[in-house]
Chains A and B, each alone.
Chain A
Amino acid sequence: METILEIHNLSKEFFLHAQGRAIKSCKNISFTLPKGGFIGIVGTSGAGKSTVLRCIYRTYLATTGSVMYDSLSYGKLDLVKATERQMIHLRKVEIGYVSQFLTILPRTTAKEHVINGALDAGFSYEESMQKAEEMLRYFKLNENLWDIYPNTFSGGEKLRLNLAHAMVKAPRLLLLDEPTASLDNNTKILVKELLMKLKAEGTSIIGIFHDLEFMEGLCDEVYNISAGQFQNSKEVS
């Protein structure tokens, strides 16, 4: 099976100069993500789950190891060593990142936020507008919220907006950092359905989740991360 992401011996250590010591976050993480696959990561807080995702997205610089990504734009590429310009391009066009938090420009309405995402990916304004509307509908964000500043949105609405923002670029690789952490059950079910749909459409996904029930039927494989290391993996039917 074709792989889109191959992570080999990834370790991350934070050196804190003020304290004069290093904090080890994750060590020797290796796994591969097949094209169109869905890998779930679980673990206690502080175990290093988010660190793995952030190393892939290059928010963190990995201390050792490699993250080979099969990109459309540059071919096979180690994201740890890619140039900043390459990373910026990949983030705009190929790799999406969604967390439970909404980071939004001040005084931007929900719809504008999604439009901006599409503009970044290089679509024209008209196309972006159309795609944004499609995405907001797809993620079932109530239409009367579109022209409102999202700071006042509920957790679930923010999350769906985040997803719409990330998915409007139709990324090939989607990184989900505990997107369901603050959601009620009904919204979770909705998000799960949406993720199933994305997966069926061929997006490769890595997601951090807390509840195993949610991951059932969604993830092809679940890794348990503990003290910074992968403990075991299990296939989820």
Chain B
Amino acid sequence: METPILRIDHLTVRYGNTCEYCRNGGALNKNTCPHCKTVWACNDVNVQLYEGEILGIVGESGSGKSTLMKSLYFDFDITEGQGYLQAYKNGQEDIFAQSLQQKKYIRNHIMGMVYQNPMLGLRMDYSSAGNIAEKLIAAGQRNFGAMNDRVAELLDAVEILQSRKKEPPKNFSGGMQQRVQISKALANNPAVLLLDEVTTGLDLSVQVKVLELIREIRQKFNVSMMLVSHDLAVIRMLADRTIVMLDGKIIEQGLTDQILDDPQQPYTQQLVHSLL
């Protein structure tokens, strides 16, 4: 049996004190307990990600997609659950149970994250090259020349002109900011790339560029990716497998074309039939 490079077991993120009712699995009002108002943003989520694959995640707003992604990047503290990364101590130790320092190590060496909002992923006032270098420095790189070369290489990979590397991302268009984010995320050759709505808000031709880039990256570096998107066409084009989330839970998962062409759950059927 193939070992996943990332395995998440029973991940739960909740806000609130919980009561006996919701702790014992009582029915929630969407993701909120009707009695104590605890919000179960992610509720017992199990995910396996395999080498070189793109895993699509779809679901309505508030279904817990971004919470899942941000928990993996340690932006949120999780309430319960375990995560194992093959690239971290051979998948023997729970990444969520590590010290802050170890979490920083994982974040800088093994993971890359591209946020929906570039403001979250980039420092808008620093130069673009500086943004990428920040990630390299975080991973222990101190040699200016080597950093300079690596930044040049990364900007080339995302097709941003070298002549603009000293400009801050706030001067860039949305698509360019997204590409700077991607190059920053790739800086330390991560094993897992987390992509949260990377194409939302971009015009079609820029969208295609970003998508092409994602495909190329996968082909070249064999990176595994988790891709959150509202756009089912993007999911169909890129994802090998897809999971569907609703109210903090995974309600359905399978091969992408199977999920989109033969959806089983009421919500997934509704989603697919809402396609323009």
Chain B residues with CB below 8 A from A146, complex form: none
Contact of B219 among A14, A59, A84, A119 (CB under 8 A): A119
Binding site for A on B (CB under 8 A): 2, 50, 53, 208, 211-212, 215, 219, 237, 240-241, 253-255, 257-258, 261-262, 264-266, 269-270, 273
Query: Which residues of A (16-71) have their CB < 8 Å from a CB of B?
Result: 16-18, 54, 58-61
Question: Known contacts A85-B2, A105-B237, A119-B219: does B258 contact A58 (CB below 8 Å)?
Answer: yes
Please encode chain A, from 119 to 144, with 1 for each CB lying within 8 Å of some chain B CB and 0 for all others. Answer: 10000000000000000000000000
- Residue pair A105, B254 in contact (C-beta under 8 Å): no
Instruction: Report the nearest A residue to B50, measured CB to CB.
Output: A85
Contact of B212 among A14, A107, A119 (CB under 8 A): A107
The reply to whether the CB of A236 lies closer than 8 angstroms to some CB of chain B is: no
Q: In whole Å, how far is B62's beta carbon from the nearest beta carbon of chain A?
A: 21
Q: In whole Å, how far is B44's beta carbon from the nearest beta carbon of chain A?
A: 20
- Residue pair A54, B261 in contact (C-beta under 8 Å): yes
Distance in angstroms between the alpha carbons of A16 and B266 in the assembled complex: 8
How many residues of A are counted as interface, with CB atoms below 8 angstroms from the partner's CB atoms? 18
- Residue pair A88, B208 in contact (C-beta under 8 Å): no
- Residue pair A105, B50 in contact (C-beta under 8 Å): no
Please encode chain A, from 191 to 230, with 1 for each CB lying within 8 Å of some chain B CB and 0 for all others. Answer: 0000000000000000000000000000000000000000
Chain B residues with CB below 8 A from A106, complex form: 208, 211-212, 237
Distance in angstroms between the alpha carbons of A136 and B235 in the assembled complex: 28
Q: In whole Å, how far is A81's beta carbon from the nearest beta carbon of chain B?
A: 13
Q: In whole Å, how far is B272's beta carbon from the nearest beta carbon of chain A?
A: 11
Distance in angstroms between the alpha carbons of A116 and B253 in the assembled complex: 26
Chain A residues with CB below 8 A from B265, complex form: 17
Distance in angstroms between the alpha carbons of A107 and B208 in the assembled complex: 8
Instruction: Report the nearest A residue to B258, measured CB to CB.
Output: A59
- Residue pair A14, B262 in contact (C-beta under 8 Å): yes
Distance in angstroms between the alpha carbons of A16 and B263 in the assembled complex: 9
Binding site for B on A (CB under 8 A): 14-18, 54, 58-61, 84-85, 87-88, 105-107, 119
Q: Which 6 A-B pairs have the closest CB atoms?
A: A17-B266, A60-B262, A106-B208, A59-B257, A59-B261, A84-B241
Instruction: Report the nearest A residue to B260, measured CB to CB.
Output: A59
Question: Known contacts A14-B262, A18-B266, A18-B270: does B255 contact A58 (CB below 8 Å)?
Answer: yes
Chain B residues with CB below 8 A from A105, complex form: 211-212, 215, 237
Instruction: Report the nearest A residue to B2, measured CB to CB.
Output: A85
Q: In whole Å, how far is A190's beta carbon from the nearest beta carbon of chain B?
A: 29
Distance in angstroms between the alpha carbons of A105 and B209 in the assembled complex: 11
Contact of B269 among A16, A60, A85 (CB under 8 A): A16
A17-B265, A54-B261, A58-B258 known; 11 other A-B pairs, CB under 8 Å?
A16-B269, A54-B262, A59-B257, A59-B261, A60-B258, A61-B262, A61-B264, A84-B254, A88-B255, A106-B211, A119-B219
Chain A residues with CB below 8 A from B219, complex form: 119
- Residue pair A87, B261 in contact (C-beta under 8 Å): no
